Amino acid sequence: MSFPSIDAARLIGRIRELGEIGRDAEGRLTRLAGSDNDKAGRNRLVAWIEAAGLDVAVDQIGNIFGIWRSEENSGEAPIMLGSHIDTVINAGIYDGCYGVLAALEVIETLKDRGVTPARPIVVAAFTNEEGVRFAPDMLGSLVYAGGLPLDAALATIGTDGSSLGEELERIGYAGNIEPGFLKPHAYVELHIEQGPVLQREGFSIGAVENLQGISWQRVTIDGVANHAGTTPMAMRSDAGLAAARVGLFLREHIARSNAPSVATIGTMRFEPDAINVIPSRAAFTVDLRDPDEDRLQALEAALADFLVRIGAEEGVTISVERLARFQPVAFDQGIVAAVEASAKARGLKSRRMTSGAGHDAQMIARIAPTAMIFVPSRDGISHNPREHTEPDDLVAGANVLLDVVERMVSGR
C-alpha cells in the first residue's frame, strides 16, 4: 500500500540550515531566547512560513505562528503543531527545531496534495522553551496557556541582567497579539526522544502518553568560613559538606524507593570558593521529576525533612526557593492511539512511553487535547553537539505526524 510522504530532502535540508544559524567561531551552536542568534533563527523560520503561503502572527510573548486557513474553515478551532527553536548552550540541531520544521513540512505537503482541511492548521514556535537565559523554561507556551501573567513573563530578568520584554522588543519579536488568541482543537508535538529507550529497544516511534512532573528548587546553605587546616571536623559549620550530603541522600532515597523518580543537582556554587577555606555558603539547584504526582510530592517532602535534619546535625542554616513546579501530564488517549495506528499502518514498530523531559506540549495540554510523537535519539544524547537522529527516523516521524493531522482535519 502506498502512503503519502513529506518532502524528505526539504525537511532535512531545513533542519541542517537552521542548525548553522547561531554558531560561534569554534562552531558551537547557541541560540538563547531573545538573543541576536535567536533573531536570526526566527527570521529564517518566518521566511519559510511566508514562502509556504501561510499567515504569520507573533504574540506579545514572542511566540511565532504560521496559520493555514481558508474562508470555509476560518471559524473552526485549529489543529496546532510545533515546538521551539531556541537552544541550550553548545547545542545539537534537532531538539525543538525538528518539531517546528516537521510541522511546517506537514502543512506544505497537505497543500501540495490539494487537501482541503476542515480546520485551520497552525505551526507554532514557542519562546524560551529551554529556560537557559530566562526562567522558567517553557515560558512562551506557559504564558500562552494562561499559566503565567504576560506582564510577569516580560519582566523576567535573564542571567545577563536583561529583561525578556526588552530583548523581544530589541530583536523585533514583541508582537501585538494577546497570547492564547487561538484556542487549539488539538495540539501535537513531534520531538526527538532525548533518551535511549527507542534506540535500545528497537522502536521507530514513541507514542507519548504522559509527561513527568517537574520540581525545581534552589537551596542555599549558610555555615561559617574557617581555616581548612586548623578547624577540627567535629567543630565545623561546613556548608559544602551539608550540600554533599543532600546529593547523596537523594541518590540513596530514590534507590530505596524503587520508583522511576529522578533527582539532579545541576548547579552548585561555594563561597568563598577557596581551596583552603571551609565553605561559608553553598547554593545549588535541585531538579526532581516523577510521572506520578503523589510520588513527586512525597519526594519533595522527603527532601524538605532531610534539609531540616542536616541543618541541625551540621550546624548550618538552610533556605529554599521554589523556581518552578509543574504537575505530571496525561496526554489525550485518542491522539496517542492515532499515533500508534499510523505507525502500525506504515510498518513502523512503536511503543507507548513517558517523556522524562519537559516540553511545550506540557503547557498546551492545559487548554487542548494534546499528545507527542518521539523518534529515536542516537545513544540517548541531547543538549549536546553529538545529538543525532537518523534521517530515515526523522522522515518516519514526520510522516506519522502527517497521518495524524490528516485524520484530524478530515473528520476521521
191 is in an annotated binding site: yes
8 Å CB contact between 404 and 188: yes
Euclidean distance between CA atoms 130 and 38, whole angstroms? 12
8 Å CB contact between 58 and 50: no
Euclidean distance between CA atoms 356 and 354, whole angstroms? 6
Write out the DSSP string of 336-389. Answer: HHHHHHHHHHTT--EEEEEE-S--HHHHHTTTS-EEEEEE--GGG--SSTT---
**Residue in 58, 258, 26, 34 with CA at minimum distance from that of residue 178:** 58
388 is in an annotated binding site: no
- CA–CA–CA angle 248, 251, 252 (5° rounding): 85
193 is in an annotated binding site: no
50 is in an annotated binding site: no
The gap from C-alpha 192 to its chain's centroid, in whole angstroms, comes to 11
Euclidean distance between CA atoms 364 and 370, whole angstroms? 7
Query: Could you identify the residue written with the cell 541531547?
Result: 382
- Indicate the residue type of 309: R
Q: Is the dihedral of CA 255, 261, 266, 268 positive or negative?
A: negative
Q: Which three cell numbers stand for residue 249?
A: 541522600
- Indicate the residue type of 401: L
Helices (H), 186-292: 197-201, 239-257
Q: Which three cell numbers stand for residue 400?
A: 506519522
Beta bridge partners of 277: 227
CB atoms closer than 10 angstroms to residue 357: 18
379 is in an annotated binding site: no
- Relative to beta strand 186-192, strand 370-375 is parallel
What residues contact 95, with CB distance under 8 A and at least 6 apart?
87, 88, 191, 192, 194, 382, 383, 387
Known binding positions for Zn(2+): 84, 95, 130, 191, 383
Known binding positions: 84, 95, 130, 191, 383
